[in-house]
Structure 1
Amino acid sequence: MSLQDLLTSSLDTNHPDALAFMQGVQGNILKGHDRLHTAQIFVTFNANAQAARAWISGDLSRRLTSAKKQDEQIKEYRAKRDKGHPFVAFFLSYQGYVRLGIADSVTPADVYFRSGMKSVPAGEQNVVADPPPRRWEPNFRGRIDAMVLVGDDDRDRLDVTVDVLTKELASTSEHTFVERGDVQHFDFGDGRGNIEIEHFGHQDGISQPRMIKKDIDDEIAERGSANWNPGAPLSLGFVGEPNRPDEFGSYVVFRKLGQNVKAFRTARDALAGALGVSADDAAALAVGRHRNGKPVMPATAPQPGKDANDFNFKSDLSAALCPYQSHVRKTNPRGDTVVFLDQTEESERSLRILRRGIPFGERPDLAPDSMLPPPESGVGLLFMCYQSKLIQFVIQQEGADSNDFVKTGVGPDATLGNNTAGAAQQWPINGNPAAKSFLMSNFVTMLGGEYFFAPSVSFLASL
């Protein structure tokens, strides 16, 4: 049996070929690395391609965390509850493949990947409406060849790892810079303790596609599956490397997204006044979930205390409960494209992405007794996602920014969307889906990024 055959379904870790698959792919794709702190080291290689290739195949490859090693580390962490081990992953942009002199025949072929984030592939209808690169942060305006992702629960140890890596890269690079991320927590006072949140204040990371059979079974037992199946085949995130049989990688999107928390809260409060509801209820309509993660759609979890996620929008086709422009409905339409755009359920589910982002920036305004206003800049999300084809991300981002997804004139995503000519969205009151018109958008700014590929462990070792 070819390992390629595994891609058609979720991964059964008891399958005789599962070990070989997990040893061959990088970590953080099958499931998130879950470290509290990250550093993304961006690299522009110099002309000494051979030295760079030697570093990648040598020192870098010895540090890489494969999916198998990640699984072993998870089991060790659960047994010891210590600070675990550093996590390391490595990605190349198309320009990185070119700079390193890697043959075109083994370079990933996705048209968005080859075009890069700074331009639009010729002839493609689906595009991301990013600001021009001249408006990105200076570090992101030039060529980026590679990114090293380092994660750790120990911030001091992470600092040491980053220092060592940047010193190693000094002789093979023209330019390096580092972006830092830190998990943000909040206690909602419901007995769950500290919960991961994003800077607008909502619980984050609740709904993720699961590609490991045991994880799917566990989530269904905890949250149910009458209305939503969290499972996904490996093909959602993995693709075969060109001309390298039974070796697999994944396309990676990195975007630094600034969040204007003050503007979001100002709009939220204005919407609350227009609808005659609380600020938290207004934010819930914009996001599709309350701050504590509870969906605005009716949903319960079989196991008490587990995050409710077993819902779809088939019972709310008029958007009387969850607006079309809510973030969760725009980015994971759960049947809407089947009803309104004549897609198949399989097609809709194949366009999900594997989100792996982490917040950046300090929030002194959240300290006890702080009188500081919420920030307008300096905080946001180091957005990352994996997918087997970049159109998965492109279509999702395009839909978030569009006035016309999933229906004409519904307006942009009320949380994430950017649209300078955004259509006023319709907001529900007491079951009336279009009781008030109000525009919420443009709270998130793309500050820079790139498309990458996460090569197989063996490919990197072969350089």
Structure 2
Amino acid sequence: MQGNILKSHGRDHSSHLLITFDTETPEHRRKAREFLSGLVESNLITTALQQWEEAKAYRDVQATIHGNGAITDKDVAALLLSASSVFVGVMVSAEGYRALKLDTRYMPDDPSFLAGAKARVDVLQDPPVEDWEDNFTVPLHALVIVADDVADRLESVVTQLKELLQGFCLRVGEETGTAMRLKADGEEDPSAPVREHFGFVDGVSQPLFYARDIDNARTRRGGIDRYDPSAPLDQVLVKDPGGKDTGYGSYFVYRKLEQNVEGFRDDEMALAKKIAEFAHPKTPTPTPEDIALAGAYMVGRFQDGTPVVERGVAGLGSLPNNFTFDADPDGVRCPFQAHVRKSNPRGDKQRQFGQPLTQERTVRIVRRAISYGKVTLQPGPDDKVGLLFLCAQSSIADQFEFIQNQWANNRNFLREHSGLDPVIGQIQQDQPDDDTLAGHWPKLYGSRNELDFSTNPPSVVGHTFALRLLGPWVTMKGGEYFFVPSLSALRAYGEVQEAS
């Protein structure tokens, strides 16, 4: 199988080539199929095994470097680069399978994949296709991902691929992404965690498939006794109908998500002002701690990755993932509408509705996103920034679409009138844009209902307040559904003979 499915390729620079083949003639279709096959035959494709071996070599080089303290920075960079190559992966859309006459024996059968992202706009409450960016309004047949830690080395492979496509390709759109390794103050630092443009550490929680990664989570990432990040292979892999018996692939969702940083921070400040009114009413001006808590209520983590359900201030520092919401059944530490709680309830459905935990865990997706636009936490009003969102799964409808539609967009999940996901939630077209969209936020961190004895009989004073934020501040600018073929299937594409 290809790389970047069971584990992220981990490179900091990425180019996404959005390909529309010229499929008008049998000759052009043959060349397009041979292009896909040739990516394997020429060893351009990064396999899962190659990715694993390069990761081990990279760790071995790091160990060598740590054992030689006098080595120069230049030599360090050269040694690390010698342990890895440019990552290349390819995926094909349902429209691509049909256009290349691969839609009988070779095409996967996931219903959402077969329909394509354009046909699922109403299901997901996405913007209409005519509002998408040009790269996505055209028919997309294939996506090639090229990634590396060195921009020049990456660009050389991109140029090579574009040259190979000449003569049988109508259009090659390109989206570029960069992993933003930034300190909390926005200063670039190669050793800093990856952040997205709202300022939060990204990619903290992922399903894990390799024993080494699971053991690492158990021993170095705070344990897995409360929340187990491991996942079975069928969470993300499916048998490739066009491959050999050992050929497996995965369905990928691709979405370009534009982030309005100014709008997000305006909402964050509005929430912080309400928090300040309850926390210190005599001096209700929001403090930096109030603002940080407001952002944590919206996202579910502080900017450094500290889960807000664990504590009311940042500072755990080790990007903890071993937590649940068991001790917060009423959402008084982490609101029900917080992004991380909406998208991964961590047992809430079992507690709230009695549903088996296994049912909730099978919905998890594998995120492979990277930021696009200016590398900064302070983008200007004209800067277009956001995420090139990719996720892998074995069923688009039962995983990605379920999370987006039934959880993030559902104002009544997990509790009635809990509100939309403040980050990725989208207003459902058949429901009003009114105060029922207001989220319910804790008056005080961890607060509970109280009795007001000034009334007779005493009345219950609620522990939350309602506030309708103006967001969401993430806008879908286009996308498509793809399948990552197995290596044996890609080779077979080059041998296909069309019926005359």
Which residue is 1:212 aligned to? 210
Is the CA contact (8 Å cut-off) linking 2:197 and 2:377 kept in structure 1? Answer: no
Is the CA contact (8 Å cut-off) linking 1:239 and 1:248 kept in structure 2? Answer: yes
Note the alpha carbon deviations across 1:98-120, whole angstroms, 9 max, x for none: 11111423310000000000013
Cα distance in 2, alignment partners of residues 338 and 330 from structure 1: 14
Code of the aligned partner of 1:90: V
Equivalent residues in 2 for 1:151-230 (5 A)?
Answer: 151-188=147-184, 193-222=191-220, 223-230=222-229
Code of the aligned partner of 2:437: A
| 30, 34, 47: which one aligns with 2:10 | 34
1:331 aligns with 2:343: yes
Equivalent residues in 2 for 1:65-144 (5 A)?
Answer: 65-80=46-61, 81-83=79-81, 84-120=84-120, 127-144=123-140
C-alpha distance 92-262 of structure 1, shift in aligned 2 (>3 A): same
State the SS of the aligned residue for 2:263.
helix
Code of the aligned partner of 2:342: K
Note the alpha carbon deviations across 1:342-397, whole angstroms, 9 max, x for none: 4211110000000000000014674xxxxxx6546500000000001102000111
Is the CA contact (8 Å cut-off) linking 1:52 and 1:172 kept in structure 2? Answer: yes
Cα distance in 1, alignment partners of residues 191 and 44 from structure 2: 33
Which residue is 1:312 aligned to? 324
C-alpha distance 132-153 of structure 1, shift in aligned 2 (>3 A): same
Equivalent residues in 2 for 1:245-284 (5 A)?
Answer: 245-276=245-276, 278-284=290-296
Cα distance in 2, alignment partners of residues 158 and 201 from structure 1: 27
Which residue is 1:240 aligned to? 239
C-alpha distance 365-213 of structure 1, shift in aligned 2 (>3 A): closer
Equivalent residues in 2 for 1:331-370 (5 A)?
Answer: 331-363=343-375, 366=378
CA drift of 1:339 comes to: 2.4
Is the CA contact (8 Å cut-off) linking 1:259 and 1:376 kept in structure 2? Answer: no
1:150 aligns with 2:149: no
Is the CA contact (8 Å cut-off) linking 1:341 and 1:406 kept in structure 2? Answer: no
The alignment covers a number of residue pairs equal to: 424
Is the CA contact (8 Å cut-off) linking 2:178 and 2:375 kept in structure 1? Answer: no
- The answer for unaligned runs of 5 or more in structure 2 is 62-78, 277-285, 449-462, 494-500
CA drift of 1:462 comes to: 1.5
Cα distance in 2, alignment partners of residues 446 and 130 from structure 1: 7
Q: Which moves more between the two structures, 47-56 or 262-271?
A: 47-56
State the SS of the aligned residue for 1:105.
coil
| 305, 309, 312: which one aligns with 1:293 | 305
Q: With structure 2 as the length reference, what TM-score do the two structures score?
A: 0.81
Which residue is 1:13 aligned to? none
Note the alpha carbon deviations across 1:153-185, whole angstroms, 9 max, x for none: 000111111111112112121111100000112
State the SS of the aligned residue for 2:225.
coil
Note the alpha carbon deviations across 1:255-307, whole angstroms, 9 max, x for none: 000000000001101110111152111101111100000111228xxxx9632
Is the CA contact (8 Å cut-off) linking 1:418 and 1:443 kept in structure 2? Answer: no
How much is the aligned-residue C-alpha RMSD, in angstroms? 2.1
Which residue is 1:410 aligned to? 418
Cα distance in 1, alignment partners of residues 86 and 190 from structure 2: 27
CA drift of 1:439 comes to: 2.2
Cα distance in 2, alignment partners of residues 269 and 316 from structure 1: 24
C-alpha distance 101-193 of structure 1, shift in aligned 2 (>3 A): closer
CA drift of 1:188 comes to: 3.6
Code of the aligned partner of 2:58: Y
Cα distance in 1, alignment partners of residues 39 and 48 from structure 2: 19
Which residue is 1:386 aligned to? 392
Is the CA contact (8 Å cut-off) linking 1:365 and 1:374 kept in structure 2? Answer: no
Q: Which moves more between the two structures, 76-85 or 261-270?
A: 76-85
Cα distance in 2, alignment partners of residues 162 and 409 from structure 1: 48
| 10, 13, 29: which one aligns with 1:49 | 29
Cα distance in 1, alignment partners of residues 408 and 468 from structure 2: 14
| 484, 488, 492: which one aligns with 1:462 | 492
Is the CA contact (8 Å cut-off) linking 1:260 and 1:376 kept in structure 2? Answer: no
1:432 aligns with 2:447: yes
Cα distance in 2, alignment partners of residues 181 and 365 from structure 1: 15
Cα distance in 2, alignment partners of residues 192 and 154 from structure 1: 13
Cα distance in 1, alignment partners of residues 176 and 101 from structure 2: 30
- Structure 1 consecutive aligned stretches of length 4 or more whose deviation exceeds 3 Å: 363-366, 373-377
Q: Which moves more between the two structures, 416-425 or 307-316?
A: 416-425
Cα distance in 2, alignment partners of residues 216 and 94 from structure 1: 34
Code of the aligned partner of 1:66: T
CA drift of 1:79 comes to: 2.9
Q: Which moves more between the two structures, 243-252 or 283-292?
A: 243-252
Cα distance in 2, alignment partners of residues 305 and 337 from structure 1: 28
Cα distance in 1, alignment partners of residues 486 and 90 from structure 2: 10
Is the CA contact (8 Å cut-off) linking 2:39 and 2:45 kept in structure 1? Answer: no
C-alpha distance 307-168 of structure 1, shift in aligned 2 (>3 A): same
Cα distance in 2, alignment partners of residues 428 and 28 from structure 1: 39
State the SS of the aligned residue for 2:123.
coil
Cα distance in 2, alignment partners of residues 188 and 267 from structure 1: 20
C-alpha distance 329-455 of structure 1, shift in aligned 2 (>3 A): same
